[in-house]
Homo-oligomer: A and B are copies of this chain.
């Protein structure tokens, strides 16, 4: 499949946020050319797309989500994190089947496509079903284990690691644990032995709430990241989700070990968890990526909301309107997300990279005038501006239509059936 995009503004994200005018060609799942318009008469194009001056850029990387939680969107709002988890979420999840998880992940994938997400970093129940939903719908997915003391043992994580990493080109699997507060020390030590065997990075929810952080210090005399590091869990990289209550030593550790802080401002806002000190992270030289968290705590999977919040909340926290430039945010939402997820070939637009590309529609009032297109994307952009989402060389969403062969209405109906069953007494 050879596709030619012409008459485009191209934001490669390769080094800076400059836009250039030109063409982008794909061949199967890879980018074959990015640059000025040039002769292509000798190529048999399967499709030629006039971009009408719109922007082509790398797709957004949603670097922390729990896709299967779509069932619980607006099911229990306006509650603190622990109460919400214990009284509302966990009881429903206990009844959720593997088929439910497959169907609910499909609903999330539809939403990802509308907001230009081309890869997800997904921690949820029954990862093989998440993987199958992604394969069936064309989504690139990095699964991460949410190991904890209530679920499957470490051996199962190892099995999944070996099995799911060889399942399909769209799927990879990373080791991880749910969080310090849902694992005991012995379990984390077993995980450490395993990741040393495979030299694998580890991700986990980390310092999301003040309570979690305080209790970890009470238990171990260390903050969650320092406790993880003391067990050797960060010897091969990885990082944390949320990272709201990081102190200077936590940041130094993340810099030293090259770890990724994945920020989730929508969820942290809605659950009143707090504001992560992103400006300070950047000053220290930390690597930051962005995730939506699950659709039950956010409640949407919209990278535009997250991007605005990353910079906006930093401005409020620092009382400084110049905090966290929009260009840094774009980098977090694309390049840094890809690197956090180990997707080295899905980070920027360049020859040989994976064709995970979105088109941003500038022919809409919120993107005009064109004083600064990249700032428009972060400050006034919306998922409505996502004209196309291409993953692995396949156009899955174009002009508001899903092209991946799924029946959206059937998926909506399924989600409603599932929540009715799960929430029945």
Contacts and interface: CB of A to CB of B under 8 A. Distances in A.
Nearest to A375: B74
Given A75-B372, A416-B368, A272 B315 contact: yes
Contacts of A77: 326, 372, 375, 379
Contacts of A229: none
Given A316-B272, A319-B272, A111 B365 contact: yes
Instruction: Find the residue from A312, A369, A415 having the highest chain B CB count within 10 A.
Output: A369
Interface in A362-378: 363-366, 368-373, 375-376
Contacts of A180: none
A78 to B, nearest CB: 4
Interface residues of A, number: 73
A293 interface: no
A228 interface: no
A73 B305 contact: no
Interface string A171-186: 0000000000000000
A325 B373 CA distance: 35
A312 to B, nearest CB: 4
Instruction: Find the residue from A320, A365, A366, A412 having the highest chain B CB count within 10 A.
Output: A365
Interface stretch (A40-48, A146-154, A295-303, A348-356): A295-303
A322 interface: yes
Nearest to A269: B312
A262 to B, nearest CB: 19
Given A74-B379, A376-B299, A270 B114 contact: no
A165 interface: no
B379 A419 contact: no
A74 B372 contact: yes
B365 A322 contact: no
Interface stretch (A18-26, A246-254, A380-388): A380-388
A133 to B, nearest CB: 13
Interface stretch (A55-63, A79-87, A334-342): A79-87
Nearest to A382: B383
Given A114-B364, A412-B368, A298 B380 contact: yes
Contact of A78 (B275, B299, B321): B321
A282 interface: no
A369 B274 contact: no
A372 B78 CA distance: 13
Given A111-B365, A371-B74, A300 B383 contact: no
Contact of A110 (B322, B365, B375, B411): B365
A299 B298 CA distance: 22
Contacts of A400: 400
A71 B384 CA distance: 21
Instruction: Find the residue from A77, A308, A368, A375 having the highest chain B CB count within 10 A.
Output: A368
A114 B366 contact: yes
A314 to B, nearest CB: 9
Instruction: Find the residue from A299, A323, A326 having the highest chain B CB count within 10 A.
Output: A299
A271 interface: yes
Instruction: Find the residue from A275, A301, A325, A375 having the highest chain B CB count within 10 A.
Output: A375
A51 interface: no
Interface in A81-121: 81, 84, 107-108, 110-111, 114
18 contacts: A73-B368, A74-B379, A75-B372, A81-B321, A107-B369, A108-B365, A111-B365, A114-B364, A270-B315, A271-B321, A274-B319, A299-B380, A300-B380, A305-B308, A313-B316, A365-B412, A368-B412, A369-B419
